[in-house]
C-alpha cells in the first residue's frame, strides 16, 4: 500500500475510497434512498407494479452513476470499486431490490468490464426469476466510427439518457416499453469530449494518463482513452467550434428547427467559468444552423477525479422524448424543477 499522496486527495484510506464515498452518498440522500447489500443504493417508496430502472458502473466518476438515483431518475444503482465495474453479485442484489414484479432495465455505459459483469448479473437474476433487459449507452462519437457504434464508449450522454429513462419508468407499465424509450434516448444522443489534464488514481495518486502542457486531447475518453488526436491549446470559441464540428459530422441528423438538450459537462476540475464561456461560444453556431436549445445544462456531473476537460452532449428531442424530458426529477447528481 502506498502512503504517498501526491494528488493531495482528502481521504482516509486510499484503498477504501469506493466504500467510504458510497456511505457518504447514502447520507446525502437524507433518507430518500437506502443502502442495499454490499454496495447498492435504492430509492425508497418506489411505484408498485412497475418496471425498474437500474444503472451502475465503477466509482470515482461522481456524481455519476450512483448519484443519478432519484425521483424521476434511476430506481437504484450497483456501485463498483474505483474505475471498475460492479461485480455480478452487487448487480444481483440491486436488481432484486428494485424489482417490483415487472422486471428490471439495466442501463449503463459501454465498457468491457461493465458489459461482462452486468451480463453475469442478468444471468444470476434470471435464475431468481427476474426478467432483465439491457440498454447500453454508447454516445462517445470519437471512440469509433458510425458504422462501429457498438464499440463506442458511454460518456456524459448517460445523464440526459438516464433522465429520460427515469421519467419513462414513472409512466410506462412494461419493461419492453421502458427499454424502447431508453434505446431511443440513446439513439438520439451524441457526445464529444476534450481533455486538458489527467485526473489521478485515488489509490496511488498517479495520473490516469499523460498529456503535454500545451495540447488538448480532442475526443479523449474519461479515463484518458486516446481520441481523434492532439491539437494545440486554443481559445474557448475555437474549441467550441471544433467540438461542434465533430458532433455535426456524425450520423445524428440535425436539421433547422430541431430541438435539443445541450449539456456542457466538466470532467472534474474545469471551472464553471470556462463552461459558461464555451456555452457562449457554442450558442451562435447552433443558432446559425437553426437548432433550438430546449434546455441547457451546464454542470459537473460526469467526472474523473480532478481531470480537466469538457464535453458537449446533444440530445435530439422528438415529441415523446420532449414530454419525458419536461417531467421534474431530483437526485444528488442532477435535479430539474
Partner 1 sequence: MPKATLSKDEVKAMLILACERIIAAEPMLSQADRDLGDGDHGMGMERGMRAAIEKLNAAEVESIEKAFSTVGMAMMSSMGGASGAIFGTFFRNGGKALNGKEAFDAAGLAAFLKAGVDGVKQRGGAAIGDKTCVDAMEPAANKAAEVAGESLPEAIKAVAAATEAGKDASKAMVAKFGRAKTLGEACIGFPDAGACSVVVIIDAFRDFIVA
Question: Would you please indicate which residues are annotated as catalytic (active-site) residues?
Answer: 61, 223
Q: Rounded to the nearest 5°, which phi and psi values hold at 298?
A: -125, 105
Contact assessment for residue 167 and residue 324, using Cβ atoms and an 8 Å cutoff: yes
**Residue 85 C-beta: closest distance to partner 1, Å:** 5
Instruction: Please give the residues from 9 up to 68 whose contact with partner 1 meets the rule CB under 8 A.
Output: 15, 58
Cell of 116: 461482462
Residue of 225, 282, 305, 329 that binds partner 1 (CB under 8 A)? 225
Q: Rounded to the nearest 5°, which phi and psi values hold at 287?
A: -60, -40
Rounded distance between C-alpha atoms, residue 288 and residue 279, angstroms: 14
**Which 8-state DSSP code applies to residue 134?**
E
DSSP assignment of 279-305, as one string? HHHHHHHHHHTT-EEEEEEEE--S--T
Rounded distance between C-alpha atoms, residue 40 and residue 95, angstroms: 9
Cell of 227: 481520441
Cell of 271: 471551472
Rounded distance between C-alpha atoms, residue 43 and residue 34, angstroms: 6
Residue of 157, 221, 268, 309 that binds partner 1 (CB under 8 A)? 221
**Residue 84 C-beta: closest distance to partner 1, Å:** 3
| Stretch of residues binding partner 1 (CB under 8 A), selected from 87-95, 182-190, 234-242, 279-287 | 87-95
**Residue 209 C-beta: closest distance to partner 1, Å:** 8
Q: Please name every residue paired with 97 in a beta bridge, in sequence order, or none if there are none.
A: none
Q: Confirm or reject binding of residue 203 to partner 1 (CB under 8 A).
A: yes
Cell of 70: 432519484
Q: Confirm or reject binding of residue 90 to partner 1 (CB under 8 A).
A: yes
Residue of 193, 223, 297, 324 that binds partner 1 (CB under 8 A)? 223
Q: Confirm or reject binding of residue 231 to partner 1 (CB under 8 A).
A: no
Query: Closer to partner 1 at the Cβ: 67 or 88?
Result: 88
x/- mask, partner 1, residues 98-127, rule CB under 8 A, reads -------------xxx--xx-xx-------
Query: Closer to partner 1 at the Cβ: 206 or 280?
Result: 206
Instruction: Please give the residues from 122 up to 161 whose contact with partner 1 meets the rule CB under 8 A.
Output: 143
Residue of 42, 73, 85, 329 that binds partner 1 (CB under 8 A)? 85
Query: Closer to partner 1 at the Cβ: 157 or 221?
Result: 221
Residue of 11, 26, 82, 298 that binds partner 1 (CB under 8 A)? 82
| Stretch of residues binding partner 1 (CB under 8 A), selected from 77-85, 131-139, 241-249, 285-293 | 77-85
Contact assessment for residue 47 and residue 88, using Cβ atoms and an 8 Å cutoff: no
- What Rg, from alpha-carbon coordinates, does the chain have? 19
- The answer for 132, left when phi > 0, alpha when psi is -120 to 50, beta otherwise, is beta
For 27, how many CA atoms within 13 A lie in the half-sphere containing its CB? 6
Q: How many residues bind partner 1 (CB under 8 A)?
A: 33
Contact assessment for residue 94 and residue 36, using Cβ atoms and an 8 Å cutoff: yes
Query: Closer to partner 1 at the Cβ: 96 or 170?
Result: 96
**Residue 13 C-beta: closest distance to partner 1, Å:** 13
| Stretch of residues binding partner 1 (CB under 8 A), selected from 41-49, 166-174, 206-214, 266-274 | 206-214
Q: Rounded to the nearest 5°, which phi and psi values hold at 314?
A: -120, 130
Give contact residues for partner 1 (rule: CB under 8 A).
15, 58, 80-90, 111-113, 116-117, 119-120, 143, 201, 203-204, 206, 208-209, 221, 223-227
Amino acid at each position: 500500500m502506498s502512503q504517498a499522496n501526491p494528488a493531495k486527495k482528502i481521504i482516509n484510506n486510499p484503498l477504501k475510497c469506493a466504500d467510504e464515498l458510497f456511505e457518504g452518498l447514502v447520507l446525502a440522500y437524507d433518507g430518500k434512498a437506502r443502502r442495499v447489500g454490499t454496495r447498492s443504493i435504492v430509492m425508497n417508496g418506489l411505484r408498485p407494479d412497475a418496471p425498474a430502472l437500474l444503472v451502475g458502473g465503477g466509482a470515482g466518476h461522481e456524481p455519476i452513476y450512483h448519484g443519478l438515483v432519484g425521483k424521476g431518475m434511476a430506481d437504484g444503482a450497483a456501485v463498483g470499486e474505483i474505475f471498475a465495474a460492479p461485480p455480478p453479485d452487487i448487480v444481483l442484489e440491486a436488481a432484486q431490490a428494485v424489482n417490483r414484479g415487472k422486471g428490471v432495465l439495466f442501463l449503463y455505459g459501454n465498457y468491457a468490464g461493465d458489459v461482462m459483469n452486468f451480463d453475469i448479473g442478468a444471468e444470476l437474476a434470471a435464475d431468481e426469476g427476474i426478467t432483465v433487459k439491457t440498454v447500453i449507452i454508447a454516445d462517445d462519437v470519437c471512440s469509433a466510427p458510425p458504422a462501429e457504434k457498438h464499440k463506442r464508449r458511454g460518456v456524459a450522454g448517460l445523464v440526459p439518457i438516464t433522465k429520460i429513462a427515469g421519467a419513462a419508468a414513472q409512466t410506462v407499465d412494461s419493461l419492453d416499453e421502458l427499454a424502447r424509450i431508453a434505446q431511443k434516448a440513446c439513439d438520439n444522443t451524441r457526445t464529444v469530449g476534450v481533455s486538458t489534464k489527467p485526473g489521478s488514481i485515488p489509490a496511488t495518486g498517479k495520473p490516469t494518463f499523460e498529456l503535454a502542457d500545451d495540447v488538448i486531447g480532442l475526443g479523449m475518453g474519461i479515463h484518458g482513452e486516446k481520441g481523434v488526436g492532439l491539437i494545440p491549446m486554443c481559445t474557448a470559441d475555437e474549441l467550441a467550434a471544433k467540438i461542434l464540428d465533430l458532433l455535426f459530422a456524425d450520423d445524428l441528423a440535425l436539421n433547422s428547427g430541431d430541438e435539443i438538450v445541450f449539456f456542457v459537462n466538466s470532467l472534474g476540475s474545469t471551472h464553471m467559468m470556462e463552461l459558461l464561456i464555451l456555452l457562449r461560444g457554442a450558442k451562435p453556431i447552433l443558432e446559425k444552423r437553426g437548432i433550438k436549445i430546449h434546455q441547457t445544462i451546464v454542470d459537473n456531473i460526469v467526472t474523473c477525479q480532478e481531470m480537466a476537460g469538457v464535453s458537449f452532449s446533444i440530445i435530439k428531442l422528438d415529441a415523446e422524448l420532449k414530454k419525458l424530458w419536461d417531467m421534474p426529477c431530483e437526485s444528488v447528481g442532477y435535479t430539474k424543477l
